[in-house]
Amino acid sequence: MDLKKEIKVSPLLFLSLDDFLNTVAVVVAMSGGVDSSVAATIMAKSGCDLSAVFMRNWDKRDESGTDVGCQWEKDWEDVQRVCTMLDIPVKMIDLSQQYWTRVFEPSLEEWQRGITPNPDVPCNKEIKFGALMDVALSGPNQWLVTGHYARVHRVNLPSGGTRCTLVKAVDSSKDQTYFLSSISQTQLSRGLFPLGNYLKRDVREMASKLGLPTADRPESMGLCFVGQKEGHIDRFISQYLPPNPGPIVDLKGNTIGQHQGLWSYTIGQGARIPGQPTKMFVAAKNIERNTIVAVPGSHHPALYCKAVQTTSWNWISGEPPCVLLSGGWLEADSKICYGDREEKCTVVLQGEGVLATFANPVRGVAPGQYAVLYSGEQCLGSGKIIDTTPVDPNLDSTVPP
Protein backbone atom coordinates (compact mmCIF):
# COMPACT_ATOMS: atom_id res chain seq x y z
CA MET A 1 0.00 0.00 0.00
CA ASP A 2 1.31 3.44 -0.92
CA LEU A 3 0.45 5.39 2.22
CA LYS A 4 1.35 8.69 0.63
CA LYS A 5 -1.54 8.30 -1.82
CA GLU A 6 -4.04 7.60 0.95
CA ILE A 7 -3.94 11.09 2.44
CA LYS A 8 -4.30 14.29 0.50
CA VAL A 9 -2.97 17.31 2.33
CA SER A 10 -1.45 20.63 1.41
CA PRO A 11 1.52 21.97 3.38
CA LEU A 12 -0.16 25.37 3.14
CA LEU A 13 -2.46 24.15 5.91
CA PHE A 14 0.54 24.58 8.24
CA LEU A 15 2.82 27.12 6.53
CA SER A 16 2.51 30.32 4.56
CA LEU A 17 3.37 30.11 0.88
CA ASP A 18 6.65 31.97 1.46
CA ASP A 19 7.60 29.67 4.32
CA PHE A 20 6.82 26.59 2.25
CA LEU A 21 8.76 27.78 -0.77
CA ASN A 22 11.76 28.56 1.46
CA THR A 23 11.56 25.32 3.47
CA VAL A 24 14.81 23.39 3.57
CA ALA A 25 13.72 20.41 5.65
CA VAL A 26 10.98 19.09 7.92
CA VAL A 27 11.78 16.73 10.80
CA VAL A 28 9.05 14.75 12.55
CA ALA A 29 9.58 13.68 16.17
CA MET A 30 8.25 10.13 16.54
CA SER A 31 7.51 8.30 19.79
CA GLY A 32 6.25 4.94 18.60
CA GLY A 33 2.63 5.92 19.23
CA VAL A 34 -0.26 6.28 16.82
CA ASP A 35 -0.35 10.09 16.94
CA SER A 36 3.22 10.76 15.81
CA SER A 37 2.88 7.97 13.22
CA VAL A 38 -0.13 9.64 11.63
CA ALA A 39 1.54 13.06 11.86
CA ALA A 40 4.49 11.62 9.92
CA THR A 41 2.14 10.13 7.34
CA ILE A 42 0.37 13.45 6.82
CA MET A 43 3.64 15.30 6.34
CA ALA A 44 5.00 12.58 4.03
CA LYS A 45 2.10 13.35 1.67
CA SER A 46 2.69 17.10 1.81
CA GLY A 47 5.68 16.92 -0.47
CA CYS A 48 8.16 18.30 2.08
CA ASP A 49 11.72 17.06 2.39
CA LEU A 50 10.92 14.87 5.38
CA SER A 51 12.97 12.87 7.86
CA ALA A 52 12.22 11.50 11.31
CA VAL A 53 13.86 11.31 14.72
CA PHE A 54 13.16 9.09 17.69
CA MET A 55 13.92 10.73 21.00
CA ARG A 56 15.12 8.52 23.84
CA ASN A 57 14.53 10.35 27.12
CA TRP A 58 14.85 7.77 29.87
CA ASP A 59 17.75 5.42 30.52
CA LYS A 60 16.67 2.39 32.50
CA ARG A 61 20.32 1.66 33.27
CA ASP A 62 20.14 4.48 35.78
CA GLU A 63 17.81 2.27 37.85
CA SER A 64 18.59 -1.37 37.02
CA GLY A 65 21.98 -1.34 35.31
CA THR A 66 20.58 -2.88 32.10
CA ASP A 67 18.58 -1.78 29.07
CA VAL A 68 17.23 -5.21 28.21
CA GLY A 69 13.46 -5.33 27.88
CA CYS A 70 13.01 -1.57 28.19
CA GLN A 71 9.93 -0.04 26.58
CA TRP A 72 11.99 2.32 24.42
CA GLU A 73 13.26 -0.66 22.40
CA LYS A 74 9.69 -1.57 21.39
CA ASP A 75 8.96 2.08 20.59
CA TRP A 76 12.09 2.35 18.44
CA GLU A 77 11.17 -0.80 16.52
CA ASP A 78 7.69 0.54 15.77
CA VAL A 79 9.09 3.91 14.66
CA GLN A 80 11.45 2.17 12.23
CA ARG A 81 8.61 0.05 10.83
CA VAL A 82 6.45 3.10 10.19
CA CYS A 83 9.30 5.03 8.57
CA THR A 84 10.08 2.07 6.33
CA MET A 85 6.46 2.06 5.13
CA LEU A 86 6.63 5.82 4.52
CA ASP A 87 10.04 5.57 2.89
CA ILE A 88 11.56 8.31 5.05
CA PRO A 89 14.93 8.20 6.85
CA VAL A 90 14.94 8.02 10.66
CA LYS A 91 17.55 8.19 13.39
CA MET A 92 17.55 7.87 17.18
CA ILE A 93 18.77 10.73 19.34
CA ASP A 94 19.65 9.96 22.96
CA LEU A 95 18.57 12.88 25.16
CA SER A 96 18.38 10.93 28.42
CA GLN A 97 21.18 12.98 30.00
CA GLN A 98 19.53 16.27 29.04
CA TYR A 99 16.20 15.02 30.34
CA TRP A 100 17.80 13.97 33.62
CA THR A 101 19.50 17.31 34.26
CA ARG A 102 16.89 19.71 32.84
CA VAL A 103 13.64 17.99 33.84
CA PHE A 104 13.97 15.07 36.22
CA GLU A 105 16.49 16.45 38.73
CA PRO A 106 14.62 19.79 39.16
CA SER A 107 11.37 17.84 39.61
CA LEU A 108 13.00 15.55 42.16
CA GLU A 109 14.19 18.56 44.15
CA GLU A 110 10.65 19.95 44.18
CA TRP A 111 9.16 16.63 45.29
CA GLN A 112 11.70 16.51 48.11
CA ARG A 113 10.55 19.98 49.26
CA GLY A 114 6.91 18.88 49.25
CA ILE A 115 6.01 20.72 46.03
CA THR A 116 3.98 19.04 43.25
CA PRO A 117 5.79 19.47 39.92
CA ASN A 118 4.44 18.64 36.46
CA PRO A 119 7.51 17.43 34.51
CA ASP A 120 5.58 17.10 31.25
CA VAL A 121 5.35 20.90 30.91
CA PRO A 122 9.11 21.68 31.14
CA CYS A 123 9.78 18.57 29.03
CA ASN A 124 8.32 20.33 26.00
CA LYS A 125 10.24 23.53 26.65
CA GLU A 126 13.57 21.97 27.61
CA ILE A 127 13.64 18.74 25.61
CA LYS A 128 11.24 18.41 22.65
CA PHE A 129 11.41 22.07 21.63
CA GLY A 130 14.74 22.66 23.32
CA ALA A 131 17.47 20.02 23.11
CA LEU A 132 15.78 18.05 20.33
CA MET A 133 15.04 21.10 18.20
CA ASP A 134 18.63 22.28 18.64
CA VAL A 135 20.00 18.95 17.40
CA ALA A 136 17.42 18.05 14.75
CA LEU A 137 17.12 21.47 13.08
CA SER A 138 20.50 22.60 11.86
CA GLY A 139 19.55 25.90 10.25
CA PRO A 140 16.81 28.33 9.21
CA ASN A 141 13.69 27.36 7.27
CA GLN A 142 13.51 24.00 9.00
CA TRP A 143 10.52 22.74 10.97
CA LEU A 144 9.87 20.27 13.77
CA VAL A 145 6.66 18.25 13.55
CA THR A 146 5.10 16.54 16.59
CA GLY A 147 1.94 14.56 17.23
CA HIS A 148 0.53 17.08 19.69
CA TYR A 149 -3.15 17.98 19.47
CA ALA A 150 -2.77 21.73 19.06
CA ARG A 151 -2.73 24.35 16.30
CA VAL A 152 -0.46 27.25 15.37
CA HIS A 153 -1.83 30.40 13.76
CA ARG A 154 0.75 32.58 12.02
CA VAL A 155 -0.26 36.24 11.96
CA ASN A 156 1.39 38.85 9.73
CA LEU A 157 2.44 41.92 11.72
CA PRO A 158 2.00 45.50 10.37
CA SER A 159 5.66 46.12 11.12
CA GLY A 160 6.68 43.09 9.09
CA GLY A 161 7.39 39.51 10.06
CA THR A 162 4.97 37.13 11.74
CA ARG A 163 3.83 36.20 15.22
CA CYS A 164 2.65 32.73 16.12
CA THR A 165 -0.25 32.01 18.43
CA LEU A 166 -0.89 28.67 20.10
CA VAL A 167 -4.51 27.62 19.55
CA LYS A 168 -6.55 24.76 20.98
CA ALA A 169 -7.06 21.61 18.95
CA VAL A 170 -10.33 20.87 17.20
CA ASP A 171 -10.73 17.85 19.49
CA SER A 172 -11.25 19.56 22.84
CA SER A 173 -11.00 16.27 24.73
CA LYS A 174 -7.46 15.72 23.45
CA ASP A 175 -6.22 19.33 23.34
CA GLN A 176 -2.61 19.49 24.57
CA THR A 177 -1.96 23.22 24.60
CA TYR A 178 -1.67 22.93 28.40
CA PHE A 179 1.58 20.97 27.98
CA LEU A 180 2.88 23.37 25.31
CA SER A 181 2.15 26.52 27.30
CA SER A 182 5.74 27.08 28.45
CA ILE A 183 7.41 27.09 25.02
CA SER A 184 8.72 30.37 23.65
CA GLN A 185 7.67 32.33 20.58
CA THR A 186 10.85 31.22 18.83
CA GLN A 187 10.21 27.57 19.61
CA LEU A 188 6.57 27.75 18.57
CA SER A 189 7.46 29.48 15.30
CA ARG A 190 9.46 26.41 14.23
CA GLY A 191 6.83 23.85 15.23
CA LEU A 192 4.12 22.16 13.17
CA PHE A 193 1.15 20.24 14.63
CA PRO A 194 -0.69 18.47 11.78
CA LEU A 195 -3.12 16.66 14.14
CA GLY A 196 -4.62 19.88 15.48
CA ASN A 197 -7.45 19.80 12.95
CA TYR A 198 -8.36 16.14 13.52
CA LEU A 199 -10.45 14.27 16.07
CA LYS A 200 -8.64 11.52 17.94
CA ARG A 201 -11.06 8.88 16.69
CA ASP A 202 -10.34 9.97 13.10
CA VAL A 203 -6.60 9.69 13.71
CA ARG A 204 -7.03 6.18 15.07
CA GLU A 205 -9.29 5.23 12.13
CA MET A 206 -6.81 6.71 9.68
CA ALA A 207 -3.97 4.67 11.16
CA SER A 208 -6.06 1.50 10.99
CA LYS A 209 -7.12 1.99 7.37
CA LEU A 210 -3.53 2.71 6.35
CA GLY A 211 -2.28 -0.37 8.15
CA LEU A 212 0.20 1.50 10.31
CA PRO A 213 1.99 -0.83 12.76
CA THR A 214 1.09 1.52 15.61
CA ALA A 215 -2.64 1.70 14.85
CA ASP A 216 -3.62 -0.36 17.89
CA ARG A 217 -1.06 1.04 20.32
CA PRO A 218 -2.77 2.07 23.59
CA GLU A 219 -2.73 5.64 24.86
CA SER A 220 0.36 6.62 26.81
CA MET A 221 -0.76 7.98 30.16
CA GLY A 222 1.02 9.62 33.08
CA LEU A 223 4.53 10.99 33.40
CA CYS A 224 6.81 9.72 30.64
CA PHE A 225 9.30 8.17 33.09
CA VAL A 226 6.67 6.64 35.38
CA GLY A 227 4.24 5.31 32.80
CA GLN A 228 6.59 2.44 32.01
CA LYS A 229 6.82 1.30 35.60
CA GLU A 230 4.65 -0.67 37.95
CA GLY A 231 3.19 1.04 40.95
CA HIS A 232 2.18 4.54 41.94
CA ILE A 233 4.19 7.72 41.54
CA ASP A 234 5.14 7.77 45.24
CA ARG A 235 6.65 4.28 45.00
CA PHE A 236 8.67 5.42 42.00
CA ILE A 237 9.93 8.57 43.75
CA SER A 238 10.91 6.50 46.80
CA GLN A 239 13.61 4.90 44.62
CA TYR A 240 15.36 8.29 44.54
CA LEU A 241 14.41 9.98 47.81
CA PRO A 242 15.01 8.52 51.28
CA PRO A 243 12.05 8.36 53.69
CA ASN A 244 11.42 11.52 55.70
CA PRO A 245 8.62 10.60 58.12
CA GLY A 246 6.45 13.24 59.71
CA PRO A 247 3.01 13.76 61.26
CA ILE A 248 -0.34 14.17 59.55
CA VAL A 249 -2.48 16.53 61.64
CA ASP A 250 -6.03 17.86 61.60
CA LEU A 251 -6.92 21.56 61.59
CA LYS A 252 -6.59 21.67 65.38
CA GLY A 253 -3.05 20.34 65.25
CA ASN A 254 -3.89 16.87 66.57
CA THR A 255 -1.73 14.10 65.10
CA ILE A 256 -3.96 11.60 63.27
CA GLY A 257 -1.40 9.75 61.14
CA GLN A 258 2.10 9.56 59.70
CA HIS A 259 3.56 10.17 56.25
CA GLN A 260 6.84 8.90 54.82
CA GLY A 261 7.70 12.12 53.00
CA LEU A 262 5.91 15.27 51.89
CA TRP A 263 6.28 14.07 48.31
CA SER A 264 4.02 11.07 49.03
CA TYR A 265 0.89 13.26 48.94
CA THR A 266 -0.39 16.22 46.97
CA ILE A 267 -3.03 18.80 47.83
CA GLY A 268 -6.57 17.44 47.38
CA GLN A 269 -5.50 13.80 47.48
CA GLY A 270 -7.03 11.22 49.80
CA ALA A 271 -4.84 10.91 52.90
CA ARG A 272 -5.22 7.14 53.46
CA ILE A 273 -5.47 7.43 57.25
CA PRO A 274 -7.01 4.34 58.91
CA GLY A 275 -9.45 4.58 61.80
CA GLN A 276 -11.03 7.91 60.85
CA PRO A 277 -14.85 8.22 60.86
CA THR A 278 -14.70 10.18 57.59
CA LYS A 279 -12.29 9.86 54.69
CA MET A 280 -9.56 12.47 55.06
CA PHE A 281 -8.04 14.64 52.33
CA VAL A 282 -4.79 16.60 52.15
CA ALA A 283 -5.45 20.33 52.55
CA ALA A 284 -1.95 21.76 53.11
CA LYS A 285 1.71 21.05 53.80
CA ASN A 286 4.14 22.78 56.14
CA ILE A 287 7.58 22.27 54.69
CA GLU A 288 9.45 23.69 57.70
CA ARG A 289 7.69 21.33 60.11
CA ASN A 290 7.52 18.41 57.66
CA THR A 291 3.81 18.21 58.44
CA ILE A 292 0.71 17.47 56.36
CA VAL A 293 -2.73 18.86 57.22
CA ALA A 294 -5.75 16.67 56.46
CA VAL A 295 -9.45 17.52 56.64
CA PRO A 296 -12.60 15.38 56.62
CA GLY A 297 -14.56 15.07 53.37
CA SER A 298 -13.67 15.75 49.76
CA HIS A 299 -15.38 19.18 49.71
CA HIS A 300 -14.09 20.71 52.92
CA PRO A 301 -13.56 24.51 52.57
CA ALA A 302 -9.85 24.11 53.34
CA LEU A 303 -9.43 22.23 50.05
CA TYR A 304 -10.42 25.29 48.00
CA CYS A 305 -8.58 28.45 47.05
CA LYS A 306 -9.74 31.71 45.48
CA ALA A 307 -6.48 32.88 43.91
CA VAL A 308 -3.01 31.69 42.92
CA GLN A 309 0.32 33.52 42.72
CA THR A 310 2.67 32.37 39.98
CA THR A 311 6.29 32.93 39.00
CA SER A 312 8.54 32.33 35.97
CA TRP A 313 5.65 33.31 33.73
CA ASN A 314 5.94 32.60 30.00
CA TRP A 315 3.92 34.72 27.57
CA ILE A 316 3.88 32.79 24.30
CA SER A 317 3.61 36.04 22.35
CA GLY A 318 6.84 37.20 24.00
CA GLU A 319 5.24 39.92 26.13
CA PRO A 320 2.16 40.48 28.34
CA PRO A 321 -1.04 41.87 26.84
CA CYS A 322 -1.06 45.67 26.61
CA VAL A 323 -3.79 45.99 29.22
CA LEU A 324 -1.52 44.36 31.81
CA LEU A 325 1.52 46.42 30.83
CA SER A 326 -0.52 49.58 31.46
CA GLY A 327 -1.35 48.41 34.99
CA GLY A 328 -4.81 47.06 34.24
CA TRP A 329 -6.35 43.64 34.68
CA LEU A 330 -7.27 40.92 32.20
CA GLU A 331 -10.25 38.58 32.19
CA ALA A 332 -9.22 35.10 31.05
CA ASP A 333 -9.88 31.40 31.45
CA SER A 334 -7.43 29.36 33.51
CA LYS A 335 -6.57 25.69 33.79
CA ILE A 336 -4.56 24.32 36.71
CA CYS A 337 -4.37 20.64 35.78
CA TYR A 338 -4.57 18.95 32.41
CA GLY A 339 -8.05 17.49 32.03
CA ASP A 340 -9.63 19.94 34.47
CA ARG A 341 -12.30 22.33 33.28
CA GLU A 342 -11.33 25.92 32.68
CA GLU A 343 -12.10 28.49 35.37
CA LYS A 344 -12.91 32.15 34.82
CA CYS A 345 -10.38 34.42 36.44
CA THR A 346 -9.07 37.98 36.65
CA VAL A 347 -5.34 38.44 36.11
CA VAL A 348 -2.87 41.16 37.12
CA LEU A 349 0.90 41.26 36.82
CA GLN A 350 2.66 40.63 40.12
CA GLY A 351 6.34 39.98 40.67
CA GLU A 352 7.78 37.62 38.05
CA GLY A 353 4.38 36.15 37.33
CA VAL A 354 0.70 36.90 37.62
CA LEU A 355 -1.90 36.86 40.35
CA ALA A 356 -5.00 35.03 39.09
CA THR A 357 -8.20 35.45 41.11
CA PHE A 358 -10.92 32.91 40.32
CA ALA A 359 -14.57 33.73 39.80
CA ASN A 360 -15.38 30.52 41.70
CA PRO A 361 -13.27 28.64 44.26
CA VAL A 362 -10.99 25.94 42.82
CA ARG A 363 -10.29 22.68 44.61
CA GLY A 364 -6.98 20.93 45.18
CA VAL A 365 -4.49 23.50 43.88
CA ALA A 366 -0.89 22.71 44.80
CA PRO A 367 2.29 24.83 44.56
CA GLY A 368 4.46 23.51 41.75
CA GLN A 369 1.58 23.01 39.37
CA TYR A 370 1.16 25.24 36.34
CA ALA A 371 -1.52 27.85 35.87
CA VAL A 372 -2.29 28.14 32.14
CA LEU A 373 -4.25 31.09 30.75
CA TYR A 374 -6.54 31.15 27.73
CA SER A 375 -8.34 33.86 25.82
CA GLY A 376 -11.02 31.99 23.93
CA GLU A 377 -9.24 29.37 21.82
CA GLN A 378 -5.81 30.97 22.23
CA CYS A 379 -3.34 29.78 24.87
CA LEU A 380 -1.64 32.88 26.30
CA GLY A 381 1.02 31.17 28.40
CA SER A 382 1.69 29.72 31.82
CA GLY A 383 3.59 30.06 35.06
CA LYS A 384 4.43 27.92 38.07
CA ILE A 385 2.19 28.31 41.13
CA ILE A 386 4.10 29.34 44.25
CA ASP A 387 1.23 30.22 46.61
CA THR A 388 -2.54 30.00 46.98
CA THR A 389 -5.11 32.17 48.75
CA PRO A 390 -7.60 30.10 50.81
CA VAL A 391 -11.31 30.73 50.46
CA ASP A 392 -11.66 31.15 54.21
CA PRO A 393 -9.16 33.77 55.55
CA ASN A 394 -9.10 31.85 58.83
CA LEU A 395 -7.70 28.83 56.99
CA ASP A 396 -4.14 29.69 56.02
CA SER A 397 -1.80 27.30 54.22
CA THR A 398 0.31 26.44 57.27
CA VAL A 399 -0.06 23.89 60.03
CA PRO A 400 -2.19 25.06 62.98
CA PRO A 401 -0.14 26.02 66.06
Q: Give CA separation, 138 vs 15, 46, 157, 169, 192, in Å.
A: 19, 21, 26, 28, 16
Known catalytic residue at 345: no
Alpha helices in 193-321 (DSSP H): 200-210, 233-237
Name the 3-class secondary structure at 347. Answer: strand
Integer Cα distance of 359 and 396 in angstroms: 20
From the candidates 48, 123, 305, 379, give the one annotated as an active-site residue: 123
Instruction: Tell me the CB-side half-sphere exposure of residue 351, using CA atoms within 13 A.
Output: 15
Beta bridge partners of 167: 151, 378
Catalytic site residue 379? no
By C-alpha distance, which of 133, 135, 128 is closest to 143? 133
Residue 109 · residue 148 · CB < 8 Å: no
Query: Crossing angle of helices 200-210/34-45, nearest 10°?
Result: 70
Residue pair 301/363 in contact by the 8 Å Cβ criterion: no
The vertex-276 CA angle with 272 and 282, nearest 5°, equals 45
Q: How many residues does the chain have?
A: 401
Q: 385 phi and psi, to 5 degrees?
A: -75, 130
Neighbours of 398 (CB within 10 A): 14
Q: How far apart are CA 153 and CA 189, in angstroms?
A: 9
In sequence order, which ranges of 47-169 are alpha helices (DSSP H)?
A: 61-64, 71-86, 96-99, 105-112, 120-123, 132-136
End-to-end CA distance of the chain: 71
Quick check: helix, strand or coil at residue 6? coil
Angle of helix 34-45 relative to helix 71-86, nearest 10 degrees? 20
**Region for residue 275 given its phi and psi (left: phi exceeds 0; alpha: psi -120 to 50; beta: otherwise):** left
Residues involved in catalysis: 123, 224
